[in-house]
Chains A and B, each alone.
Chain A
Amino acid sequence: MKIVETAKIAEAVCRLALKAGVSLTADCKNALVAAEKDETGAAKFALSAALENERIAAKERMPVCQDTGMACVLIELGQEVSLSGMPLSDAVNEGVRRAYAAGNFRKSICDPLTRVNTGDNTPAHLHVEIVAGDGVKITFLPKGFGSENMSRLSMLTPAEGRQGIVDTIVEAVRLAGSRPCPPVVVGVGIGGSFDSCTYLAKKALTRPIFSHHEREDVASIEREALEKINALGIGPQGFGGKTTALAVLCEVAPTHIAGLPVAVNMQCHCVRCAEEVL
Chain B
Amino acid sequence: MKELALPLSEEEKRSLHAGDCVLLSGTVFTARDCAHKRIFELLDADMPLPFSLKDTFIYYAGPCPAPAGRAVGSCGPTTSARMNAFAPRLIDLGLGGIIGKGEMSEEVAAALVRKGAVYFAAVGGAGALYANAVKKSELVAFADLLSEAVYRFEIEKFPAVVAMDCHGGSVYSRTTYQGIRSGRCPSE
Contact = CB atoms under 8 A, between A and B. Distances in A.
Interface of A: 40-46, 49-50, 52-53, 56-57, 60, 62-68, 104-108, 115, 117, 119, 146, 149, 177-179, 181, 233-235, 237-241, 268-270
A105 B128 CA distance: 12
A7 B161 CA distance: 47
B149 to A, nearest CB: 11
Interface stretch (B39-47, B63-71, B86-94, B111-119): B63-71
Interface string B62-87: 11111100000111101101000000
A41 B66 contact: no
Nearest to B18: A42
Contact of A66 (B64, B132, B145): B64
B125 interface: yes
Nearest to B129: A53
A266 B177 CA distance: 21
B82 to A, nearest CB: 8
Interface string B9-34: 00000000001010000000000001
Nearest to A235: B177
B124 A41 contact: no
B172 to A, nearest CB: 5
Contacts of A104: 64-67, 73
Nearest to B66: A104
Contacts of A64: 74, 125, 127-128
B83 to A, nearest CB: 12
Given A40-B187, A106-B73, A233-B178, A66 B161 contact: no
B72 to A, nearest CB: 9
Given A117-B148, A237-B161, A240-B179, 20 more contacts: A41-B187, A41-B188, A43-B180, A56-B128, A62-B127, A63-B127, A63-B128, A65-B76, A65-B127, A104-B65, A106-B73, A177-B102, A178-B102, A179-B103, A181-B101, A237-B121, A237-B123, A238-B103, A239-B171, A240-B177
B101 A237 contact: yes
Contacts of A68: 64, 74
Contact of B124 (A57, A177, A181): A181
12 contacts: A45-B185, A62-B127, A65-B125, A66-B76, A104-B66, A146-B101, A146-B124, A179-B103, A234-B177, A237-B161, A239-B19, A240-B180
Q: Nearest 3 CB-CB pairs, A to B? A: A240-B177, A181-B124, A53-B126
Contact of A41 (B19, B76, B121): B19
B58 interface: no
B97 interface: no
A24 to B, nearest CB: 9
Contact of A52 (B67, B129, B148): B129
Nearest to B182: A41
Contacts of A65: 74, 76, 124-127
Given A41-B181, A42-B19, A42-B161, A238 B171 contact: yes
A240 B126 CA distance: 18
A46 B73 contact: no
A151 B132 CA distance: 31
A174 B178 CA distance: 16
A41 B73 contact: no
User: Most chain-B CB neighbours within 10 Å: which of A41, A57, A146?
Assistant: A41
A46 B66 contact: no
B11 to A, nearest CB: 23
B179 to A, nearest CB: 7
B61 to A, nearest CB: 7
A62 B76 CA distance: 12
A228 B101 CA distance: 24
B74 A63 contact: yes
A41 B101 contact: no
Given A63-B73, A177-B103, A181-B124, A106 B65 contact: yes
A76 to B, nearest CB: 29
